[in-house]
Chains A and B, each alone.
Chain A
Amino acid sequence: MSALLDIENLHVAYADGRVPVLQGISLQLQAGRTLGVVGESGSGKSTLAQALVRLLPAGARQTAGRVQFEGRDLGGLNERAMRELRGKAMAMILQDPLSSLNPLLTVGSQIAEVAQRHLGLNRAQAWQHAAELLRAVRLAEPEARLREYPHQLSGGMRQRVAGAIALAGHPQLLIADEPTTALDPTVQVQYLRLLKDLQERHGFALVLITHDLGIVARLCDDVAVMYAGRIVERGPAAVVFGAPAHPYTRALLGSLPSLHARAGALRAIPGQPPQPGRLPGGCSFHPRCALASAQCRAAVPPLASTGVAATACWHASTLLPLEATT
């Protein structure tokens, strides 16, 4: 079965290719599956999302690699064909519900706009569709909400509206870039549950970008752990979290606060993530890694298979299975 999304050796760099942000990302996503992309700030998660919809910020450029969607190379599409694909085939939810909606347009017209464009509906049908979408994202009184402006809604409601807009064109791929970071914890859980329900009903594939490992563990089929623009570990979520092979993944899991452990100091990973453009030679994680050896400082470890998962660490084979992360 060919993948819905097939990313191969994707390189993206800022400043005319001088500052690499993504270095050789390879990922596959099957239709209807959920992929979690985790990493610290600056690891390139959001750039990856922008590269997927081919809307990199000014100054950023894809320098190598290939992104295929339904077997079509997106690099070969012109702007018009790409516009056709966006919204209809792929959609996105961003982090900030405050700025995701145009303050001057009603909720209804913003949803209907997408439906009119991509589903070929007339105005009345599009509004009808918008009301159904608001019901699908579980907003009370959808007909009344349609005529309201974004400032009349709470943050959680706005993020639901953003979800409704994303779903308006019946996309096959939904990219959610930290969709719950700006929401209250209680609302976060509701929203994620909603996303999962919508996925079951509509069958879209979901790329969930987050730094919250708990979310990934609960929602995602597969996970890709990113560090400094590279995927350091990749595989089914149960395997990666159950038996993490990369020291960075272990450190991430180890830094999670636990209900069972005594309250006290958090176990943080020592040091800072490297800045793009000033990566250390060899494995980017070696300055913060307890296992770093001369080989780690000299050469970048390839993403090598460890059975069902894959990891990029010279010491992966010699690492003992981690007993307990909590």
Chain B
Amino acid sequence: MNALRSQATLALATWRRHARHAPVLAIAVLAGLALVALGADLLAPYPPELTAMAHRYQPPFWLQGGSAAHLLGTDHLGRDVLSRLIHGARISLLVGVAAVLFAGICGTALGIAAGYFGGWFDQVVMRLVDAWLALPSLVFAIFLASIVGPSTTNLVIILGAIYWTRYARVVRSEVLSLRERDYVKLARIAGASPWRIMSRHLLPNVANTAVVLATLMLGSVVVTEASLSFLGVGVPPPSPAWGLMLSDGRKGLMAGYWWLTVFPGLSIMLLVLAASLIGDWLRDRLDPQLRPVQ
């Protein structure tokens, strides 16, 4: 009984130690956004694409002319801003996470292979990465988007194609030091195949880095997605993407319809900020050299 209790105390203490310095607010924001995205159909008061020309440009409920029927007002087609924001969270997170995964899988695989094999393969991959990084990412994305045409799937592929280079670089440099470890040498001496060494000995050891990178990158990917949608080469209208809402709302900005741009702008900021804070914390947490002294 006592042993059980002391074990529970120990587990609690360990959890507390790990949770220390955790950006609770950022985690709550990201979790909240994820829940909203999942339950968008239940939470949103209106379908996101429902137009009502009679109720165009209604302000948020606390301003004169606003009503409780449209808490955050309506846009130039009378669509409910809150409903569009809620559905927009789904698009942003879905595209963001899918693109980060896609970039992560490609970049990590190429990074491990380049770092492990070295030689001409490494040269080819890394020069490709250099060339890739020399291009301004947004311009490159617009170029790609104009070739393949706008669709959500294409957007994920484009974003993945832009961001895999960062994974490849970081993972490769990590592998360069890992492959000199004795256990990798011994695995080769024990006759393990390159595939086995990469999947069993290298991949698990770079997983930490890849997770941190993914979290940090989520923010950039979301911003790029919003930018592309804003420029009209991202998520095709009338989908309620946040970038698209910004773009639509821009026309009403001079006329004083500020709620059309401020709310999607704030949403993007919240998501990006939360992802960055969590990424920073994870990086500190998972890097023993940066870990705060207990």
Contacts and interface: CB of A to CB of B under 8 A. Distances in A.
A58 interface: yes
- Of B118, B182, B188, B201, most buried by chain A (CB within 10 Å of CB) is B182
Interface in A40-93: 53, 55, 58, 83-88, 90-92
A113 B189 contact: no
Contacts, number: 65
A99 interface: yes
A96 B190 CA distance: 17
A168 B185 CA distance: 16
Contacts of B65: none
A240 interface: no
B204 interface: yes
B191 A99 contact: no
Contact of B118 (A58, A84, A92, A101): A58
Given A58-B118, A104-B205, A113-B200, A165 B185 contact: no
Contacts of B191: 83-88, 114, 117-118, 169
B183 A169 contact: no
A55 B192 CA distance: 13
Interface in A106-147: 110, 113-114, 117-118
Contacts of A118: 190-191
A96 B189 contact: no
Interface residues of B, number: 17
Contacts of A91: 189-190
Interface in B207-263: none
A55 B205 CA distance: 22
Nearest to B184: A102
Nearest to B119: A58
A252 interface: no
Interface residues of A, number: 31
Contacts of A102: 183, 187, 200-201, 204-205
B182 A100 contact: yes
B205 A114 contact: no
Contacts of A87: 189-192
B9 to A, nearest CB: 21
A208 interface: no
Interface in B149-195: 181-183, 185-193
Interface string B88-122: 00000000000000000000000000000010000
Given A83-B193, A86-B191, A92 B205 contact: no
A99 B200 contact: no
Contacts of A114: 190-191
Contacts of A58: 118
A162 B189 contact: no
Nearest to A88: B191
B190 A105 contact: no
Contact of A99 (B183, B192, B193): B183
A86 B190 contact: yes
B190 A55 contact: no
A94 interface: yes
A58 to B, nearest CB: 7
B192 A101 contact: no
Nearest to A52: B189
- Of B118, B187, B191, B192, most buried by chain A (CB within 10 Å of CB) is B191
A16 to B, nearest CB: 14
Nearest to B188: A55
B189 A99 contact: no
A281 B204 CA distance: 50
A99 B205 contact: no
Nearest to A117: B191
A232 B188 CA distance: 31
A58 B201 CA distance: 20
A96 B204 contact: no
Contacts of B205: 102-104
Contacts of B186: 92, 94, 100, 162, 165
Interface of B: 118, 181-183, 185-193, 200-201, 204-205
25 contacts: A55-B185, A55-B188, A55-B189, A58-B118, A86-B188, A86-B189, A86-B190, A87-B190, A91-B189, A94-B182, A96-B182, A99-B181, A101-B183, A102-B187, A102-B204, A102-B205, A104-B205, A105-B200, A105-B201, A114-B191, A117-B192, A162-B186, A165-B186, A165-B190, A169-B190
Given A87-B190, A103-B205, A117-B192, 9 more contacts: A85-B191, A91-B190, A92-B186, A100-B183, A104-B204, A105-B200, A113-B200, A114-B190, A165-B186
Interface of A: 53, 55, 58, 83-88, 90-92, 94, 96, 99-105, 110, 113-114, 117-118, 162, 165-166, 168-169
